[in-house]
Amino acid sequence: MRRIAHLDMDAFFASVELLRYPQLKGLPVVIGGSRRSVDQRLLTPPEGGTLADLPLSAFPVLRDYAGRGVATTATYAARQFGVGSAMGLMKAAKLCPQAILLPADFDRVKHYSRSFKAVITEIAPVMQDRGVDEVYIDFTDVPGGQREGGRVLARLIQRGIFDATGLTCSIGIAPNKLLAKMASEFDKPNGISVVYEDDLQTRIWPLAARKVNGIGPKADAKLERHGIRTIGDLAQRDRDWLIATFGKSTGAWMHEVAWGRDDRPVVTESEPVSMSRETTFDRDLHAVRDRAELGRIFTALCEKVAADLQRKGYRGKTIGIKLRYDDFRIATRDQTIPLPTDDAATIRRIAGQCLKRVPLEQRLRLLGVRVGTLVRADAAGSDGVLDGNSAFAPVPAARGAIKKVVDLPTTVPLF
């Protein structure tokens, strides 16, 4: 019998911080905001002590935060106040002003991410990455993977992760990824839930349609308009009606999902499609008035993407920019060059051309740079690859872009 597990680390970013600040255990802690917004001097070990000796008064609290950003994670103590991830910090401060606010430490998080995944693959090698704090695991052919529907193996993995890292996780085991993902939410934190095919009507159908991985706010609102609130409601509609209402692909998918069907395999390896860097400014910037600052940020983003590509050994052909205006509208532009690159100057030059094709009258909140259509650097070949000194200097306009270049919008000529 197919047994698939979904494992979710509990309040991962916050739990990783609690490991070095054990005095915060049981307190509301929110991770978020920018590193530069927190006075790091406060968070250095006191004379003759360690970080664990820092008094609570040394920690910044949400009440004092003034700036942009959202919560990445909140401890369960903070969630009791209604604070959740992706919530604006200003709103979180209203709900729980006394919560301790720490910036995310991505290097630490990545270290612990590697550690817990290493524990898993030692025990069950067929594991699919779903970001820093989540994985799918195929229990089917693991010795002992069928015992108690997978519960025995799940316990073994939980214990192994705790022994290696001091962190807890929640695991759901089911016949497929769809159900396993929902099951892992049943008993949090530090729980295990086992779901069988026969549990569909009793345990899955009562859930809100929004709980399905892939039904987001838009689809949920549309479902609601048709009187569909739960997965059970969805299952009652016939397939043809769903297809007529949501389109061939989405409608058919919704029908399968409502009946608990999902045959996607657990995929252990995949190649990246794109790499990007983006930043939200501390204040909205204007292309004219803040030109110098924007230029510096833009160059830095290009350099970071280039460094990411080089470090990971990829080059890309499609260079693009993204910006978010002060009213939150998003614009993207991209251009494909003949040969893949990982060179900062080339990326900066092409991205600069993209920037010239987008309206820049309105103030900007965010700027991003993206490189897509990636190939491995070792497969790209070293001769002829575009770089800053390349003889291929002028890049011909890509085919699909020609028409659009002609009717340029009126933009402030800047970059």
**Does residue 134 have an active-site annotation?**
yes
Nearer to DNA, 33 or 54 (CB): 33
Q: Which one is catalytic: 134, 224, 256, 278?
A: 134
Q: Which of 3, 203, 255, 317 binds DNA (CB under 7 A)?
A: 317
Contact yes or no for 153/144 (Cβ under 8 A): yes
Q: Which residues fall within 8 angstroms of residue 57, CB to CB, at 6 or more apart?
A: none
Shortest gap between Cβ of 365 and DNA (angstroms)?
7
Q: Which stretch binds DNA (CB under 7 A): 138-146, 147-155, 292-300, 402-410?
A: 402-410
Bridge partners, residue 369, by sequence: 277, 321
Cis peptide before 394 (omega within 30 of 0): no
Q: Which stretch binds DNA (CB under 7 A): 188-196, 285-293, 378-386, 395-403?
A: 395-403
Q: Which of 41, 55, 218, 382 binds DNA (CB under 7 A)?
A: 218
Q: Which stretch binds DNA (CB under 7 A): 120-128, 199-207, 209-217, 341-349?
A: 209-217
220 forms part of the interface with DNA (CB under 7 A): yes
Shortest gap between Cβ of 15 and DNA (angstroms)?
14
Euclidean distance between CA atoms 101 and 278, whole angstroms: 23
Find the binding residues for DNA in span 82-141 (CB under 7 A).
85-86, 88-91, 93-94, 130-134
Count of CA atoms in the C-beta half-sphere (13 A) of 261: 7
DSSP 229-291: -BHHHHHHS-HHHHHHHH-HHHHHHHHHHHTT-------------EEEEEEEEEEEE-TTTTH
The site string for DNA over 52-71 (x = CB under 7 A, - otherwise) reads: --------------x-xxx-
The site string for DNA over 352-371 (x = CB under 7 A, - otherwise) reads: --x--x-------xx-x---
Contact yes or no for 31/99 (Cβ under 8 A): no
Count of positions on this chain that bind DNA (CB under 7 A): 69
Shortest gap between Cβ of 42 and DNA (angstroms)?
21
CA-based angle 281:283:286, to the nearest 5? 90
- List the structure tokens of 198: 């026969």
Find the binding residues for DNA in span 296-315 (CB under 7 A).
308
Question: Could you give the dihedral angle defined by the CA atoms of residues 247, 252, 255 and 257, in that order, rounded to the nearest 10 degrees?
Answer: -110
